Amino acid sequence: MAVTINTLRDCKTRGEKFTCLTAYDATFAHLISQAGVEVMLVGDSLGMVLQGNDSTLPVTVQDMAYHTRAVARGNRGALVMADLPFMSYGTPDAAMDSSAQLMRAGAHMVKLEGSSWMADTVEMLSTRGVPVCAHLGLTPQFVNKFGGYKVQGKDDSAADQMVADARELVEAGADIILLECVPSALGQRITESVPAPVIGIGAGAATDGQVLVMHDMLGATPGKPPRFVKDFLAETGTIQGALEAFVDAVKKGTFPAQEHTFKA
């Protein structure tokens, strides 16, 4: 049975963890969805992972539509979420046009980076039939404003603001919240503060779902990986084994462990 946003809401209600991995092509989309991963993210991380850029900023809507079409063809029942790339949703009109291109390419929902000032855009998309995931915390499209990839929401006022932002975005119609690189306690607080499912990456073990970049969890990314990454290929020896081990570990609650999470 195909995964929908209702499936993820049911997971949250029942306290069952769900999984998400990035997918950029049909072959891996097939493997990932067959492994029982509920959500496939066509991430703008493809600008770094596939294109070799040092940030996600060069990625275009055209790039995203191309990879979304490939993923949609390979998909066997997962929910396909596509990132709106940098500056493709700067105004509500732009957001609607960009989202239309990604939904036509086969996405079931879009993801955008931004806090409460995105609420009007979220509402416009939501009321016009585009489910939205709001990405908070370390939002990589803001790397030049952050001055690097740094843990967010560390002090009390930043944490309180993020809780308020998450609530406001869900009230505006966001169906999912994605939290990247925040202290585990804040990940837990936001997960308990909103009725929508919360997906975490470096946001602790309490979020409803966990996401990783597939290349990272296969140990394929050059250099020192971020703290939240675990290489599942090392312990299984096959790609399919690694995908299944990730699903298993998230459902059992053994991933992420303390060593993969941030303290305040």
Ligand X SMILES: CC(C)C(=O)C(=O)O
Ligand Y SMILES: Nc1nc(=O)c2c([nH]1)NC[C@@H]1CN(c3ccc(C(=O)N[C@@H](CCC(=O)O)C(=O)O)cc3)CN21
Among candidate residues 16, 168, 180, 235, the one labeled active-site is 180
The stretch near ligand Y (CB under 6 A) out of 1-9, 82-90, 162-170, 209-217 is 209-217
- Does the annotation list 115 as a binding residue? no
Our answer to whether residue 192 is catalytic in this structure is no
Nearer to ligand X, 186 or 213 (CB): 213
| Burial of residue 30 (number of CB atoms within 10 Å: 0-12, 13-18, 19+) | middle
> Would you count residue 210 as binding ligand Y (CB under 6 A)?
no
Which 3 state secondary structure label does DSSP give 58?
coil
Within 8 A by CB and 6+ apart from 139, the residues are 113, 114, 180
Q: How far apart (Å, rounded) are the C-alpha atoms in residues 1 and 216?
A: 28
The Cα angle at residue 33 between residues 182 and 123, in degrees rounded to 5: 55
Please tell me whether residue 139 binds ligand Y under the rule CB under 6 A. Answer: no
Which member of 18, 37, 43, 250 binds Mg ion (CB under 5 A)?
Answer: 43
243 near ligand X (CB under 6 A): no
- Find residue 121's DSSP bridge partners: none
Q: Does 140 bind ligand Y (CB under 6 A)?
A: yes
Shortest distance (Å) from residue 183 CB to ligand X: 17
Which of 4, 126, 221, 236 binds ligand Y (CB under 6 A)? It is: 221
From the CB of 199, what's the least distance to ligand X, in Å? 8
In the complex with ligand Y, the residue whose CB is nearer, 112 or 124, is 112
Q: Which one of the spans 42-50, 60-68, 147-155, 222-230 is the region binding ligand X (CB under 6 A)?
A: 42-50
In the chain, the N- to C-terminal Cα span, in Å, equals 40
Nearer to Mg ion, 45 or 245 (CB): 45
User: Are residues 203 and 188 in contact, defined by beta-carbon separation less than 8 angstroms?
Assistant: no
Query: Is residue 141 within the footprint of ligand Y (CB under 6 A)?
Result: no
For residues 133 and 176, is the Cβ–Cβ distance under 8 A?
Answer: yes
Q: Does 56 bind ligand Y (CB under 6 A)?
A: yes
How far, in Å, are 208, 231, 232, 241 from residue 237 at the CA level? 28, 11, 8, 7
For ligand Y, the binding residue among 106, 219, 226, 241 (CB under 6 A) is: 226
The DSSP-derived string for 198-229 is EEEESS-S-SSEEEE-HHHHTT-SSSPPPTT-
Interface residue list for ligand Y (CB under 6 A): 45, 48-49, 56, 138, 140, 149-151, 181, 213, 215-216, 221, 226-227
Q: Which residues form the catalytic set?
A: 180
